Structure 1
Amino acid sequence: MSLLATFVGDAPMSAAIGLWVILGAAVIIDLALSLSRGKAVAVDYPPEVFVGENVDLTLTAQNAPKGLKGQIEWPDGLSGQLDITFAPAAKGTAKAKITCRAVRRGTWRCEQLWLLWSSRFGLFEFVPKVPLGLELKVVPNIRLIESGQITTSVNSALFGIKENRAIGEGSEFHQLQDFVHGMDVKSIDWKRSARRRSLVAKELRAERNHHVIIALDNGYLMREEIGGMPKIDHAITAALATAWAATIGGDLVGFYSYDVRPRVFSAPAPGRLAFAQMRTRTADLSYVSRETNHTLAMTELNARTPKRSLIIVFTDFVDTTSAELLIENIGILARRHLVIFVTMRDPQLEALTGEPPADMAGVAQLVSADQSINERRIVLERLTRLGVTVIDTEPGKVTAQLISHYLEIKAKELI
């Protein structure tokens, strides 16, 4: 406006200067009306959250102007919305409720938050950086255990409706009872019946105190993301659920983790103490980029478990060539122990084989996906022929299938 007034129109120079004076006055007034005390943002959040679940965070800003917005930069272990809009709350405060998802185990910090608001006349935008102090602890997921779903399923399957009664035919002596019509004649203890001069039957129950070893491969292949989480976190969730089921079933639970070399081994122990130790150890497992040495890991595990045990191995492989040593060492382990081999299938890879390709790049992608699935099937069939129980399913179905296999093994007394 001042340029037009000076060079185009016939207005004197004082008119142009007057426009700048008006603008300067507007700037001073705008700053005077907009400046206020420093902003402070408090965040309310739970002390810990299970990996793979969402958590709500409540941000409260003090001395909040109208139209306050914010932006947060999430660490690697958390994901959520970047832009935040505050809504007026009590006098002088504004609140925002955001949802973030825990995608990695560990303790994750968000130290700072960027705020954004406009001045009263809209001549300025203020973008200060304020301390946030968010420290969220992401732990292994035991939601099914806390809800009691696994406890109810295992008690119903192993002990019936009344928990103090043993059901089924087992190999471990429980007690003697009078023989009544309808009981199996084979259960009669003839020697004790002769001494008592009345028929006495043995009540048997499934043998307990078996050794159950949870073996977790923590190599770089387990860092691949499926369903928004690394495979290792899906494996830990299923492992903890199975360990809890084994604890309820009266078995001893041990833990073993490995990558390029054996890392942690906990001897089988009874009770909830073993589960608590396992939960702590799995929470401390880091995300590594090292290749797994299956030969060293399985040899060490075989040496540490002289008694026949149920060994549940969570691992992954790429192709038949890389799986050769894995198959060989799992086969050696299966000669003495009962082995369950758990691997997770990628639903997106299978979805590629069901879609018609649109171009040559799609054809190459389809062929590659189909070849990968076929090689995976060949490896799993070879493991099955070695007597290994194979669980190859989507991450969300691993826990249910694994506990189902465990209950079947208990019922048939295969250990």
Structure 2
Amino acid sequence: MIYPSGRAVWAAAAGAVPAFLVALALPSFWYLGLLWSCLLLAFLAVDAAAGRGRASLNASIDAPQQAGVGGEFGVQITARHSGPRAAEARVGHDARLAPVDGSGGALLPTAGGGSLFLRFQALRRGVASFDRLWVRWRGPFGLVWNQVVLPVESKVAVLPDVSSARGEAITLLQHAALAEGHAQRRAGQGREFDALKDYQPGMGRRMIDWKRSARHGKLLAREFRIEENNNIVLAIDSGRLMCEPVDGVPKVDRAVTAALLSAFIALKGGDMVSLFGFDARPRVSSGAVRGPASFAMIQKRAAEIDYSSEETNFTLALTTLAARLDRRSLVIIFTDFVDPISAELMLRTVGRLTERHLVLFMMMKDTELESLADLPPRSGEDVARAVVAGGLLRERQVVIGRLRLLGAHVIEADHNRLGPALVERYLQFKQEDLL
């Protein structure tokens, strides 16, 4: 695209005044006023032709693969062309990012082109993208702009910041004697065979290996340990209810933070972790991974769990998840519900899921309803709000009670304690050999 620059506009305005004066003073020579316009048009044509060179233009964007919510990162724009080096660039981005000092500027001359460094701030979790790049440069006379719009594809995974909660999780891990990812070993606990040892008084008779004892001529006992290869599934609901904010942050963001925290602990403990995101239908499925090095992949897949305005389809999501599980697993479901009617289909599916797997529901306390239920009755409206809020809270407890009757475990924690509460329950499951 070619369009006039500010210099061309000022030149046209400057020539209009003499042309008007000539036409006013010498009416018979009015056509002399057109000479400036023709001359300016000629210069514009020469400038536009000499300033081209779009075919030789090559531009790229270098952005980091991931960034934390609220953090800043740099983007390097590099343009190479055979034309004039004085050029400007501007990059297009989505609403998850905000430019710190603008989204464009002049390219600093380099060998064969120019470069520009910009800084952006990550505002929301998700996969942010840079989709377009505008590059423009002037002709030799500076009268026209030559502009090219280049499609680019550069994505940045905006992830929740789990650094503050990671220290607390590691402390919990150390307290549970699972430091450095080794499973806690206790004689007589767990189902995974570890070693044979001499039978000592006080050991249970079930620990005696009678065949090997007869072979060696002395009593030998089997020592077991808690398994290190349990399958942990983190299922995150990203439907309409989970996108409502709690203390300024959407519930799904807090769920993702807690899920990443528990994934970090589980991978350090030697277990396998998979991520599953759903709303009206399944959206994200990472597959089971193992080892601390896989945590980066889990983080990237967590960034793909986007906000949704659709109602959650628990039947489709949990049925799909159950069909993909070929062994007993700990299924941790981050979700929310309003009343027993909306949760009825979920309850039917959970009943089939708990027959084979250990199911844990993670929910945040509804602080808004609790504050309305405890509001002092200063007016009739306050009484009505308190009655409605109290009724919704009672219905919520009815659903939680039905989930527990179906064999599912339920944690209803404060939004600031969701991650640590999940880690504590996970370590408790490991100690009690429930996985």
Compare 234-243 and 202-211 and name the one that shifted more.
202-211
1:339 aligns with 2:362: no
Give, as a single letter, the amino acid of the residue that structure 2 aligns with 1:366: A
1:261 corresponding residue in structure 2: 281
2:321 corresponding residue in structure 1: 301
1:43 corresponding residue in structure 2: none
Give, as a single letter, the amino acid of the residue that structure 2 aligns with 1:189: D
**Cα gap change, 1:285/1:186 in structure 2, threshold over 3 Å: closer, same or farther?**
closer
% identical aligned pairs: 39
**Cα gap change, 1:185/1:293 in structure 2, threshold over 3 Å: closer, same or farther?**
closer
Matched position secondary structure for 2:287: strand
1:166 aligns with 2:165: no
Rounded to whole Å, the distance in 1 between the matches of 2:203 and 2:267 is 31
**Cα gap change, 1:273/1:229 in structure 2, threshold over 3 Å: closer, same or farther?**
same
Match of 2:392 among 360, 372, 392: 372
**Structure 2 unmatched ranges of 5 or more:** 1-63, 74-93, 99-120, 131-154
1:317 aligns with 2:318: no
Q: Give the Å deviation of 1:78.
A: 8.4
**Cα gap change, 1:164/1:223 in structure 2, threshold over 3 Å: closer, same or farther?**
closer
**Cα gap change, 1:266/1:138 in structure 2, threshold over 3 Å: closer, same or farther?**
closer
1:224 aligns with 2:244: yes
Taking structure 2 as the reference length, the TM-score comes to 0.63
Rounded to whole Å, the distance in 1 between the matches of 2:126 and 2:414 is 21
- Contact 2:183–2:228 (Cα < 8 Å) also in 1: no
Rounded to whole Å, the distance in 1 between the matches of 2:238 and 2:394 is 25
Q: Give the Å deviation of 1:262.
A: 1.0
Q: Give the Å deviation of 1:102.
A: 5.0
Q: Give the Å deviation of 1:138.
A: 4.1
- Contact 1:253–1:274 (Cα < 8 Å) also in 2: no
- Contact 1:144–1:241 (Cα < 8 Å) also in 2: no
Q: Give the Å deviation of 1:49.
A: 6.0
What is the 5 A alignment of 1:167-316? 167-168=186-187, 169-180=189-200, 183-184=203-204, 186-316=206-336
Matched position secondary structure for 2:327: coil
Q: Give the Å deviation of 1:390.
A: 0.6
Rounded to whole Å, the distance in 1 between the matches of 2:224 and 2:318 is 35
Give, as a single letter, the amino acid of the residue that structure 1 aligns with 2:185: A
Rounded to whole Å, the distance in 2 between the matches of 1:247 and 1:350 is 36
**Cα gap change, 1:339/1:158 in structure 2, threshold over 3 Å: closer, same or farther?**
farther
Instruction: Provide Cα deviations, 1:108-135, integer angstroms capped at 9, x if missing partner.
Output: 99xxxxxxxxxxxxxxxxxxxxxxxxx9
1:391 aligns with 2:403: no
Instruction: Provide Cα deviations, 1:288-346, integer angstroms capped at 9, x if missing partner.
Output: 21111111111111111131111001111122211111111122211221100111112
Give, as a single letter, the amino acid of the residue that structure 2 aligns with 1:234: R
Match of 2:375 among 341, 348, 355: 355
- Contact 2:209–2:221 (Cα < 8 Å) also in 1: yes
Rounded to whole Å, the distance in 2 between the matches of 1:380 and 1:165 is 32
Instruction: Provide Cα deviations, 1:61-106, integer angstroms capped at 9, x if missing partner.
Output: xxxxxxxxxxxxxx97689xxxxxxxxxxxxxxxxxxxx9956555
**Cα gap change, 1:160/1:247 in structure 2, threshold over 3 Å: closer, same or farther?**
closer
Instruction: Provide Cα deviations, 1:352-391, integer angstroms capped at 9, x if missing partner.
Output: 2222122222222212211111111111111111111011
Instruction: Provide Cα deviations, 1:162-193, integer angstroms capped at 9, x if missing partner.
Output: 95872252221111233455655543333323
1:141 aligns with 2:151: no
Taking only aligned residues, the RMSD between alpha carbons, in angstroms, comes to 3.5
1:154 aligns with 2:173: yes
Rounded to whole Å, the distance in 2 between the matches of 1:203 and 1:300 is 38
- Contact 2:169–2:420 (Cα < 8 Å) also in 1: no
**Cα gap change, 1:208/1:136 in structure 2, threshold over 3 Å: closer, same or farther?**
closer
- Contact 1:315–1:343 (Cα < 8 Å) also in 2: yes
Rounded to whole Å, the distance in 2 between the matches of 1:365 and 1:408 is 39
- Contact 1:158–1:407 (Cα < 8 Å) also in 2: no
Taking structure 1 as the reference length, the TM-score comes to 0.66
Q: Give the Å deviation of 1:273.
A: 4.2
Rounded to whole Å, the distance in 1 between the matches of 2:355 and 2:389 is 33
Rounded to whole Å, the distance in 2 between the matches of 1:192 and 1:103 is 61
Q: Give the Å deviation of 1:285.
A: 2.1
Q: Give the Å deviation of 1:276.
A: 2.1
**Cα gap change, 1:167/1:384 in structure 2, threshold over 3 Å: closer, same or farther?**
same
**Cα gap change, 1:269/1:137 in structure 2, threshold over 3 Å: closer, same or farther?**
closer
Give, as a single letter, the amino acid of the residue that structure 2 aligns with 1:302: A
Rounded to whole Å, the distance in 1 between the matches of 2:394 and 2:369 is 12
**Cα gap change, 1:163/1:156 in structure 2, threshold over 3 Å: closer, same or farther?**
farther
**Cα gap change, 1:209/1:165 in structure 2, threshold over 3 Å: closer, same or farther?**
closer
Instruction: Provide Cα deviations, 1:190-217, integer angstroms capped at 9, x if missing partner.
Output: 3323333344332210123111111111
Matched position secondary structure for 1:335: coil
**Structure 1 unmatched ranges of 5 or more:** 1-45, 58-74, 80-99, 110-134
